[in-house]
Structure 1
Amino acid sequence: MTSARSRTPVQRITGEPAYVLHRYDWSESSLILDVFTRHHGRVALVAKGAKRPYSQLRSALLPFQRLAVAFSVREEEGGEVHTLKAAEWAGGAAMLTGAALLTGFYLNELLMKLLARADPHPRLFDAYAATLPSLRGPEREVQRALRAFELLLLRELGVLPELDVVTLTQASVSDETVYRVHGDAGVMEAPAGEPGVPGRVLRSLERALQAWPVTGGPADVQQACEAALPELKAALRPLLHYHLGTSVLRTRQLLIELLPP
């Protein structure tokens, strides 16, 4: 007699580009992985036996390493955790270390908290892959990469307003006027004497963000961020907090505690 489970359709995904965002112990020998894939979005995978000393998966399932993975999807109710069948290193730079490692985990935490499961974002996947090498660079390059990725993430999610117009009136921003970007009200002129981002920077950022689907990478957005890195950091932090629903990020707290001021 055929069981109900054996009749459940199973889809086999092979050669899927992926990055491990996080890994959890599942048993003495296995792991649960939170994986960002290019065509299937965030997926949860069980890697059976991956902790065993001689497992071929053991050395592959590391964060910030581009992988080609194979997994099976059983289309049944509640089947959110799928089974990893294979994972191979797909090339790329060496493992992040030191401050770059913590900064990379900050990007991973943003993805895990802001992306729904099984919601594909291939452009964002490519932007993430292109951002990782910049995290090894000088501090200014790292800050450009972080601000650009935050902007691209918010735009991809559809929660970043058009930056070259005042949201309420749809009037064009003025180059010399300073603005804030609010989670609920969008772009607004900053009160007199208070910090914000100059309109000319917002215009440049909007042009770069609109070109992103054509250029296919974050380089133009990083360049546009260069003109106002401290201002953008101050502007994007509350915006991210608004959409995250919290002002506490584990990786940001680790950076504060471990790195010198």
Structure 2
Amino acid sequence: MRREAQQEPAYVIHRRPWRETSLMVDLFTLNHGRMSVIARGASGSKSPLKAQLQPFQPLMLGWVGRGDLKTLTHIDVRDGPALHRTLSLYSGLYLNELIQRVLPQADPHQTLFAAYIEALAQLAQTSDVEPVLRKFEQAFAAALGFDFSWALATDTGQPVSAAQSYCYDPEQGIVAAVSIGVRLQNLPGETLLALAAGDYESVASRRISKRVMRVLTDYLLQGRPLNSRSLFNHLRGERHES
């Protein structure tokens, strides 16, 4: 059955050459989730499509097609924030890689789409990217069914106590007892409660949230690499040398 879409909000998350003059473009869309389209002739010298189909650019797209791979028929470029800082750009690439490598195809996630738009807007305005990344990672995990509360120990059903230490299991969330699935231990209850209250700024909150979300994203990736992490490591190396 031939399917058609018009004026669909979308972002480019990856693109690559397709045959001689076209591009295969991976998209994150509002109503169709992650999907791919062929932009015919986009690599041609006279085509404006190559310049328009850029990551982080808000787009309204149209396409037709029967299978998983559609053919782009229309593109309307909208105004949006620009990621000029290197760290913000790498952070945006990280978000795109998470979506491309983990999010199932043709599985709409409108709440995650809104979180993505908000993250791009914040990355364009700040040089402090860590709180932005942590909040998006949690929204991303929630979309895939791995949401958890910083303030609740799921194995006991009891609220987190500031005076106790806790563990983290990607499949259960915060837990009070060490078990087979536990990946992190000795997480201070006081810091977990601060995170539950929205504190991603303090040193302790940054450290714990980064450790937890790294374990969770690695679990979701199931061994698939992220090129953007290499970019972050390279950038850190340059800063240490300067």
TM-score, normalized by length of structure 1? Answer: 0.80
- Cα distance 1:155–1:200, how it changes in 2: closer, same or farther (>3 A)? farther
1:181 to partner: Cα distance: 2.1
1:25-44 correspondence runs (5 A): 25-44=17-36
Counterpart selection for 1:58 from 50, 59, 68:
50
Map of 1:5 onto structure 2 = none
Does the Cα contact within 8 Å between 1:102 and 1:255 map onto a contact in 2? Answer: yes
5+ unaligned residues in a row in structure 2: which ranges? 179-183
Residue 233 (1) aligns with residue 210 (2): yes
Map of 1:214 onto structure 2 = none
Map of 1:158 onto structure 2 = 145
5+ unaligned residues in a row in structure 1: which ranges? 1-8, 208-222
**Is the strand fraction higher in 1 or 2?**
2
Secondary structure of the corresponding residue to residue 92 of structure 1: coil
Map of 2:189 onto structure 1 = 199
1:201 to partner: Cα distance: 4.8
Secondary structure of the corresponding residue to residue 238 of structure 1: helix
Counterpart selection for 1:243 from 217, 220, 223:
220
- Cα distance 1:60–1:119, how it changes in 2: closer, same or farther (>3 A)? same
Does the Cα contact within 8 Å between 1:41 and 1:118 map onto a contact in 2? Answer: yes
Q: What amino acid does structure 1 have at the position aligned with 2:104?
A: A
1:229 to partner: Cα distance: 1.3
Does the Cα contact within 8 Å between 1:70 and 1:84 map onto a contact in 2? Answer: yes
Does the Cα contact within 8 Å between 2:6 and 2:63 map onto a contact in 1? Answer: yes
1:137-152 correspondence runs (5 A): 137-140=125-128, 142-152=129-139
- Cα distance 1:103–1:26, how it changes in 2: closer, same or farther (>3 A)? same
1:6-59 per-position Cα deviation (integer Å, ceiling 9, x unaligned): xxx322101100000000111221000110000110011010001112213122
- Cα distance 1:24–1:247, how it changes in 2: closer, same or farther (>3 A)? closer
- Cα distance 1:233–1:26, how it changes in 2: closer, same or farther (>3 A)? same
1:154 to partner: Cα distance: 0.7
- Cα distance 1:116–1:95, how it changes in 2: closer, same or farther (>3 A)? same
Distance 1:33 1:138 in 2: 28
Map of 1:186 onto structure 2 = 173
Secondary structure of the corresponding residue to residue 226 of structure 1: coil
Residue 123 (1) aligns with residue 111 (2): yes
Q: What amino acid does structure 2 have at the position aligned with 1:232?
A: S
Residue 72 (1) aligns with residue 64 (2): yes
Does the Cα contact within 8 Å between 1:197 and 1:235 map onto a contact in 2? Answer: no
What is the number of residues matched between the two proteins? 231
1:161 to partner: Cα distance: 2.8
Aligned Cα root-mean-square deviation (Å): 2.3
Distance 1:170 1:88 in 2: 49
TM-score, normalized by length of structure 2? Answer: 0.86
Secondary structure of the corresponding residue to residue 91 of structure 1: coil
Does the Cα contact within 8 Å between 2:21 and 2:44 map onto a contact in 1? Answer: yes
% identical equivalent positions: 34
Does the Cα contact within 8 Å between 1:179 and 1:187 map onto a contact in 2? Answer: yes
